[in-house]
Structure 1
Amino acid sequence: MAFDSRISRRRLMAGAGAAAAAAFSPLGPAAVFSPSMASAASGRLIPDGKLGTITFTQRDVPTRVGIAASAAMGVPPTMGYLGGPEFPQNPDDLGPLVPLPGGWLELFEFLAGCGFKQIEFAGYGQNAANPGGAAPNPAPGGVTTAESRAAYLAYARTLRGFLDAYGLQAIGNHGFIPNTWYGPNSPGGTMSSQDYDRLQTELEFAAILGMPYMGTGGDPTSANNRNIEPWTVAGEKWEALNRISLQWGIHMYTHNHSPAYNFLQDGPLVTVTEDRVSGAPIPPTVVRAESGKRLMQHYLDVTDPELVVIEMDIYWAHVAQHQWRWRYDYDGKRVEDIFDPTAQVAKQTMRYALFHAKDGDATGQPDGVGDGYTMIPFGDPRSDIDFTSFFGNIGAKGYHNPNYEQDNAPGGSADPGRSLRFAKISAGNMATLRG
């Protein structure tokens, strides 16, 4: 792969990491991903520069010894299938057994060759034998020291060099979130010094990588508690965290799973006599009534839109549509109230800065029973999630950052190349989504 020899500001920031990447390309020539000016007018629902993935999907790759490191150590590389000449059009064309990428540098080269442009990290760790070495601990024993901070930030500059070498942008991360914050509901009404030091270090790390967002894979607060009070407090916490992070030009975001779109228990105590899911008669039971507002909607309502953005997992939003279909109204009656993920985003589209573009195959389970879907590669023929309608009707076309995710992508020792094959399939299908 050829690299631009001119020194740019981005490459200068990256430091030695870019040089290491430029000197090493174990996978052979990669397909260069060049954003096309025409794509914005081509009907593409996910523009060139917004094609992303979260590395949780390929979490088996950074942790294994890569091709170059295996050669340097004199050990056989991990072998697997990356697809033959008819792949991905024919997903059954696995091709020959080949050495598999390992570590960040080789993963980034592969993902860029697939057409991905944005990387959402799910942590920064990798096998210590790979280029760049292991990620240093920023806070040994919970304490950030000058030495641990310096080592951690040096590693950030190495990762930035690897990203720059393949024209990739770090869009976000699922990582450290403080347990304390500045506000009356935080322990002592303030942020602990340990949390402050660690947060500042993580924000500087993210700034070196060029991230506009930094977040978590969790909900704003535990979705097991559907009372209004903890979700109001969560809004206070995340506003306080964003006031700190925006000093670095970074928005801090939360993720969500299906329970976060369950109904807020915000009404009076009522007596119900019908099962919520089946409608079958039950003994009189006292529960808290529900107005129909969802947990995440309350969180959005109580937070400043200039401060707080979130990431929707589109798959789990559709699971929520399958699961949370009935509520008890203020009279104790069972009312059908079906969640609409597209409408949820469309009415406040700028709040949803990021998505997990995770696809699903319907299981055929009855409404309200189980998850209703199983995870598959994006755009798989089995897909029962209408991404064309979703991306075509949420508004602000080209603003959002969709990151392909598939929790079950790694194939383990039986098929160690699977997460990479699925990435290639998904990137192609995301790029061809039209509407």
Structure 2
Amino acid sequence: MRKTTPHDPRTAKQLTRRSILAASAGAAAALGAAGLPVLATGTPALAESEGEGKGNKYNQLRAEPLIPGGNRGIILYSVRDRISAAPDDSGVPYGFERVLARLAEIGYKEIEFAGYNQNTAILGRQITPTEIRKILDDNGLVANGTHTSIRADTFQQQLDIAEELGMKNIGTGSDPTNSAYQADWDAAADTWNELGRQAAARGMRLYTHNHDAAYSFLLDSGPLDALGRPTRSSGVRRLEYFFKQTDPRYVYFEFDIYWGYVARYKHQKFVDPTGQEQTSLFDPIINVAERTTRFPLFHAKDGNKNTTLPNGYEMTPLGEGDINFQQFFQTIGEPDFHHANWEQDTAPGGTLNRAQSLDFAALSYQNMSELTIYKRN
């Protein structure tokens, strides 16, 4: 399929039935070995046996959205340039009232926040959470989460804001700890278990969002360094250790799909307790599918493979890159439980293209809405 530049949404490629159902043989083998469902390649018509179900209305294929319409969201970090913009005469929406109205017009139903401030020139003061909630309600939008600071000393105040905005999830864009050491992840787990209980008592779920480093290897074995810290790894990844140390009733996760594939590219090798280098490939789909109901939220972020870059990928609008979202969301299941928030860190176009982030939001929503699952009556 011909690729187009991510900087011109008007010439974006169209998703086809063949392109969205295609799955690599390597990924299929890994999923099958883990006991997870594997997508058939080709179209459903080709996968169906000749004559099977013909004339039987109870055995006919039907198409349904893979991501339900009410679960399609956006994190406002993707359009942060327009949320924070001062009033201008460009005709491009600015501030919460105008930007959220445009996102609702595009089709988004859910909003994940990345701060609660806008340019004070719009109102002559800062907007309040109560005013933001009214904008959400007026546009038929629901707040499904936030990236805020998760600290014990300010957590109740953050819960107050989340409650005012009607959120069911409250989270952060940072890892519980940036450490590579088990003791620090144990301490973080204790804190998060307690804060998760506090969130649950107010009808919310506490979640953390990953970058690639969260899936690098824990230093938990081998000789100690001069400070008494381990220097080698048993092969356990940091966040996978955190999964086991936290209470599934109180601590949840938002999987950033793009950063998951970056982790697969970057974090492949570790030195085992005997001093031997080992290779272990991270599988983003299996990582989620084994504990799918701990992931209420996702960042549906796409990228083109580019091994000349340190991360191995370059961000693009959703559906314009190389990540197989069809395979990802169909395999992990639980479509009604999962909420997909489009994100592209690089969406803002600056003063030369003020409309770019909102144009990319529209393109990404269209491509998200075209992801389809096929079922039998």
Name the TM-score class by shorter chain.
0.7 to 0.9
After TM superposition, list the pairs within 5 Å mapping 1:341-352 onto structure 2.
Answer: 341-352=284-295
Amino acid across the alignment from 1:297: E
What is the deviation of 1:384?
Answer: 1.2
Residue of structure 1 aligned with 2:202, choices 204, 223, 248: 248
Residue of structure 2 aligned with 1:406, choices 344, 355, 359: 344
Q: Which residue of 2 aligns with 1:74?
A: none
After TM superposition, list the pairs within 5 Å mapping 1:198-217 onto structure 2.
Answer: 198-217=154-173
Q: Which residue of 2 aligns with 1:5?
A: none
Spell out, residue by residue over 1:51-96, the C-alpha distance to the aligned partner (whole angstroms, 9 max, x if none): 0000000001121234xxxxxxxxxx342xxxxxxxxxxxxxxxxx
Which structure would you say has the larger Rg?
Answer: 1
Q: Which residue of 2 aligns with 1:267?
A: 221
After TM superposition, list the pairs within 5 Å mapping 1:257-406 onto structure 2.
Answer: 257-269=211-223, 288-365=231-308, 370-380=310-320, 383-406=321-344
Amino acid across the alignment from 1:47: P
What is the deviation of 1:101?
Answer: 0.6
| Distance of 2:249 and 2:109 partners within structure 1 | 26
- In the alignment, does 2:83 pair up with 1:129? no
Q: Which residue of 1 aligns with 2:149?
A: 176
Is the CA contact 1:103–1:131 (under 8 Å) kept in the aligned structure 2? no
| Distance of 1:107 and 1:257 partners within structure 2 | 27
| Distance of 2:197 and 2:95 partners within structure 1 | 34
Is the CA contact 1:156–1:208 (under 8 Å) kept in the aligned structure 2? yes
- Unaligned stretches of 5+ in structure 1? 1-40, 67-76, 80-98, 136-154, 182-194, 271-285
| Distance of 1:388 and 1:267 partners within structure 2 | 38
Is the CA contact 2:75–2:113 (under 8 Å) kept in the aligned structure 1? yes
| Distance of 2:359 and 2:203 partners within structure 1 | 35
Q: Which residue of 1 aligns with 2:174?
A: 218
- In the alignment, does 2:101 pair up with 1:109? yes
Q: Secondary structure at the match of 2:336?
A: coil
Spell out, residue by residue over 1:113-169, the C-alpha distance to the aligned partner (whole angstroms, 9 max, x if none): 11101000000001123359514xxxxxxxxxxxxxxxxxxx222111100111100
Spell out, residue by residue over 1:310-334, the C-alpha distance to the aligned partner (whole angstroms, 9 max, x if none): 1111111100000011122232222
Amino acid across the alignment from 2:169: Y
| Distance of 1:203 and 1:422 partners within structure 2 | 31
What is the deviation of 1:309?
Answer: 0.1
Residue of structure 1 aligned with 2:129, choices 156, 165, 179: 156
Number of matched residues? 309
Amino acid across the alignment from 1:134: Q
Spell out, residue by residue over 1:27-54, the C-alpha distance to the aligned partner (whole angstroms, 9 max, x if none): xxxxxxxxxxxxxx73322110010000
User: How large is the RMSD of aligned CA atoms in angstroms?
Assistant: 1.9
The answer to which structure, 1 or 2, has the higher relative contact order (CA under 8 A, 6+ apart) is 2
- Unaligned stretches of 5+ in structure 2? 1-61
Structure 1 length-normalised TM = 0.68
What is the deviation of 1:400?
Answer: 1.1
Q: Which residue of 2 aligns with 1:43?
A: 64
Spell out, residue by residue over 1:329-387, the C-alpha distance to the aligned partner (whole angstroms, 9 max, x if none): 2322222210000000000011112111110011034xxx710001110001xx11111
Shift in alpha-carbon separation, 1:132–1:386, aligned structure 2, 3 A: farther
Q: Secondary structure at the match of 2:144?
A: strand
| Distance of 2:301 and 2:275 partners within structure 1 | 36
Amino acid across the alignment from 1:220: P
What is the deviation of 1:289?
Answer: 2.7
